[in-house]
Structure formats: structure tokens, C-alpha cells
Amino acid sequence: MTTSSPETPDVRLTGLTKHYGDFAAVDGIDLEIQSGEFFTLLGPSGSGKTTTLKMIAGFEEPSSGTVELAGVDVSGLAPYDRAVNTVFQDYALFPHMSVAANIEYGLEVAKVDKAERKNRVAEALEMVRLDSHDNRKPSELSGGQRQRVALARAIVNRPKVLLLDEPLGALDLKLREQMQFELKQIQGGVGITFIYVTHDQDEALTMSDRIAVFNKGKIEQVSAPRDLYEQPVNEFVADFVGISNAIDRDGKRFTIRPEKVKILGPDDSRDGLETESGRITDIAYVGMVTRLHIDLDSGGTIQVAHQNVEAQSSSQNEAINTQVTVGWRPDHVVPIQAQVETKNELLEEQRS
């Protein structure tokens, strides 16, 4: 039996693969997640992130490869024999039980002493700030409160790793943003490794220590949020994480983020900038920024995000069909590689 060490990751996936017939939902991924990380599996629907989470939890059996928890190969173990708990989008609370009873249930099944159960339930309720709601039923709670009960129920068992499958997906935007902050605060407080699945790029960038971007069963990039956004390794990552301006010039392809592009006035300095001319084709005011689409005279279309720092945005002086000059710093340009069709992609096209 393998023993863990301070350097042993909480989760190690090696050659992990899951086939459904000829289709590889997860296609030979390798990944290490360190103790105490808030780690996110990010990708579009069908990219393999949820299937990967289910194999870590034990709900799906790998076609090949291994899942290790703290250095121990658990690939053949049932979910209840793994030191993990899972929080789902639908919360899966028992409607006839009180909040406290829902949280205590797993401890009862594990035959934890009654006094210890009460103490741990009280600690979990305080942690998620629901200590005054212990006797309420789930139907008497808001969506955000039910989500916190589900989280407390998972944490109270003190798992080594907590798996979260799009747990905020059913919440409205403002509550989801509030819960993102609260989840990160709770994770830091308990110190448990969180593995979080989402298709929401903003959610991933907001909460994560590191992010793995999934695409067609493979991992495209694993990076901290800032590195992922500022230095995408290919066109898929650049386009999926944020908005990408992909441009071809002199046989090379590069991307630049919309907020890095400036519309230059006649008195603005061009020193040190790459500049091109073009025509505004669309303008959209979206609160914090105004987004302008510009067809470049040399070919291609870019989007410019102009921050609305003044009550009267300077971008309001522009109009559709206006000819403008745009500029950006060379160090903001990121060379990228275009995506190549994979076997998974060809199989999907054949089925459609």
C-alpha cells in the first residue's frame, strides 16, 4: 500500500480514460491536485469535466488509468470507501428532515457518537452561517441557504476532498456571485481540497487557485487564473476563457484581449504601439464597459472593450461606420495555435 508524504498530491489522475462505445468522454488525462487547493475543472458541455469528477468520486469506473487519493489507488473502490464527498446542483436534501438532521445524517450512518455528532453539526452550521436555521425544513429556505446546507452536510464528514458539480447553477446571477465569494471563504476556513466543475469562465476565474480547461475529453491547459487568461496556450483556451481577438498577420496568428486594444484619437501618441485602421460595425453599452466591433482594413474583426469610467463615456462620441485607428502594445499580443480536429470531434460530426 502506498503511503502519502507532504509532496503527495491529494488527487492524482494517470492516463484516465472513459469510453462509451467508440467515443472517449475522457481521453487519457494526467492531473495532480495539491492539498488545500480550490481546483476547477472548466469546459463546455460534453468536454469530459463531469465524467472526470464522477470517476474521482467512484460513480463512474475508468476504462483505463488510475485515480489516486493521497497516494492510494482507489480506482476500484466504491464511492463510500473513498475519502471524498460530493455536492450536486440539486442539493439532494431530505425534504422531511430539518436542516440539522440533514447535516447529521451521514454521521449517523457512519455510527459517530451522538455527542460528537451534535458538536460537529453545530460547527458546520456556524461555518455556513445557518446556526439559527437548524430546525427549519429545506422548503423554508432560500436557494442559497439550501446550497449552504448541502455544503455543510458534505463538510461535516471531514472528507479529504470535496467534489462540487456545478453547485451554483440553479441560482440567479446576484446570489451566484455572492455564493462564489462565500464558497471561497468557507474553503479557506476548512482547508479541504475543493474540486469544482463549471462551464462558467467567470466563476472559475473568481474562485480558483488553479484551473484545468477541458475540451473534447482532453485537458488543454492547467494554470492559475491570471496565467490562463493572459497566456492561453491555444485558440480554444483563448476563445473559451474570456473574449479573444484572433488575428492573422504575415503568416502568424495571435490573440489580444479586447480591454488591451485602444481607440486612438488624433492627439494620442502612437509611440510603442502596433496600430491598424478599421471601421466600427457595432456598439453595445453593457454597464461597466462599452463593446465596439471593428472591421480592420487589413482583414479580420476585433472587439474593443472601453471602460465606462466617466458618466459620459468617450465611446459615445463614436458611431457605427466611423473610421478609426486602434492600437495595442506588442507585449499584450499572445501567439496562438489554431485547434486541430481530434478523433472525438470527427466521431461527433459523423453522429450529427
pLDDT tens digit sequence for 178-214: 888 888 888 888 889 999 999 999 999 999 999 999 9
List C-alpha distances in Å: 326 to 16, 39, 255, 304, 306.
Answer: 46, 37, 15, 9, 12
Q: Which residue has the higher pLDDT, 154 or 10?
A: 10
In this predicted structure, what is the pLDDT of residue 168?
Answer: 82
In this predicted structure, what is the pLDDT of residue 201?
Answer: 93
3-class SS at 231? coil
pLDDT at 352 over 80: no
Rg over CA atoms, the chain: 24
pLDDT at 246 over 50: yes
User: Distance between CA atoms of 223 and 87, rounded to whole angstroms?
Assistant: 24
- Say if strands 161-165 and 193-198 run parallel, antiparallel, or are unpaired: parallel
3-class SS at 144? helix
pLDDT tens digit sequence for 257-277: 999 999 998 889 999 999 999
pLDDT at 102 over 60: yes
pLDDT at 306 over 90: no
Residue with cell 453593457: 286
3-class SS at 282? strand
C-alpha cell at 249: 498577420
- Say if strands 161-165 and 72-73 run parallel, antiparallel, or are unpaired: unpaired
Domains of the chain, each with CATH number or no CATH: 11-230 (3.40.50.300), 244-335 (2.40.50.100)
C-alpha cell at 134: 437548524
Q: Are 260 and 332 in contact (CB under 8 A)?
A: yes
pLDDT tens digit sequence for 124-152: 888 888 888 988 999 998 888 888 888 88
In this predicted structure, what is the pLDDT of residue 311?
Answer: 61
Give the predicted TM-score (pTM) of the model.
0.87
